[in-house]
């Protein structure tokens, strides 16, 4: 994490926001792209956000949805073959991001089930002020990626991202095992 990264992070974020932040950077890094944190004031004009990928999830301790929105540039650069449609690709990226979040949550004893991703396009794609936390904004190539998670915790449950052992380990991303 760079000093710039720290300074751009929302100081009021919950542990789940921080987890999504880290996972988003890792995801784009796996596609050889730097996701550089930006302040929320740099949230791109809604008309620049091409599409959203939405991933629903639910479990005993938490439920909600993750939204990944992007301008066209990061979608094109992360899929250099230009395979499929941008709508399909942002759905897949949201799926891979939420899969990564799920795998990290398993290490702290939180199990969630993932829905299949849905694509969403619109003229004004913004999180509702006051309803969800501030989106995480990243500069990726010459465009932007924004991610936010709208999440409800079960009563009395507090998410602590401190691995304490004894919980189910997950295979890391990119790994292959043969049986």
Partner 1 sequence: MDKKILIIDDSTTVRHQVRAALLGNGFEILEAADGVEGLSTITEHQDLAAVVCDVNMPRMGGLQMLELAKAKGLLATLPVVMLTTEGQASLVQQAKSLGAKGWIVKPFKPELLVLTMRKLTAS
| Residue 133 beta carbon to partner 1: minimum distance, rounded to whole angstroms | 23
Q: Answer whether 63's CB lies under 8 Å from 152's CB.
A: yes
Closest CA to 106 of 172, 157, 56: 172
| Residue 39 beta carbon to partner 1: minimum distance, rounded to whole angstroms | 28
CA distance 18 to 14: 7
37 forms beta bridges with: 138
| Residue 139 beta carbon to partner 1: minimum distance, rounded to whole angstroms | 21
Backbone φ and ψ for 158, nearest 5 degrees, come out as: -120, 125
Q: Is 34 in the site for partner 1 (CB under 8 A)?
A: no
How open is the CA angle 148-20-155, to the nearest 5 degrees? 80
Give the contact letters, 88-127, x = binds to partner 1 (CB under 8 A), - = no. xx-xx--xx-xxx-xx--x----x--xxx-----------
| Residue 94 beta carbon to partner 1: minimum distance, rounded to whole angstroms | 10
Q: Three-state SS for 137?
A: strand
Q: Is 29 in the site for partner 1 (CB under 8 A)?
A: no
Closest CA to 77 of 119, 120, 135, 29: 29
Closest CA to 127 of 61, 36, 64: 64
| Residue 11 beta carbon to partner 1: minimum distance, rounded to whole angstroms | 30
> Among residue numbers 49 through 78, which ones bind partner 1 (CB under 8 A)?
none
Q: Is 164 in the site for partner 1 (CB under 8 A)?
A: no
**Applying CB under 8 A, what is the total number of residues that bind partner 1?**
36
Binding site for partner 1 (CB under 8 A): 27, 30-31, 79, 81, 83-85, 88-89, 91-92, 95-96, 98-100, 102-103, 106, 111, 114-116, 168-179
């Amino acid at each position: 994490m760079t000093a710039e990264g720290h300074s751009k992070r929302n100081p009021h974020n919950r542990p789940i926001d921080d987890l999504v932040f880290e996972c988003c950077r890792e995801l784009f890094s796996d596609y050889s792209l730097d996701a550089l944190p930006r302040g929320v004031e740099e949230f791109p004009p809604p008309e620049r956000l091409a599409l959203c990928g939405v991933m629903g999830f639910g479990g005993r301790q938490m439920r909600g949805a993750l939204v990944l929105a992007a301008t066209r540039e990061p979608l094109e650069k992360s899929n250099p073959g230009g395979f499929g449609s941008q709508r399909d690709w942002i759905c897949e990226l949201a799926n891979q991001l939420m899969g990564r979040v799920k795998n990290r949550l398993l290490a702290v004893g939180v199990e969630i089930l993932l829905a299949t991703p849905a694509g969403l396009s619109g003229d004004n794609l913004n999180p509702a002020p006051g309803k969800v936390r501030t989106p995480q904004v990243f500069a990726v190539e010459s465009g932007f990626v924004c991610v936010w998670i709208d999440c409800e915790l079960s009563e009395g449950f507090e998410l602590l991202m401190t691995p304490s052992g004894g919980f189910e380990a997950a295979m890391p991303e990119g790994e292959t095992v043969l049986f």
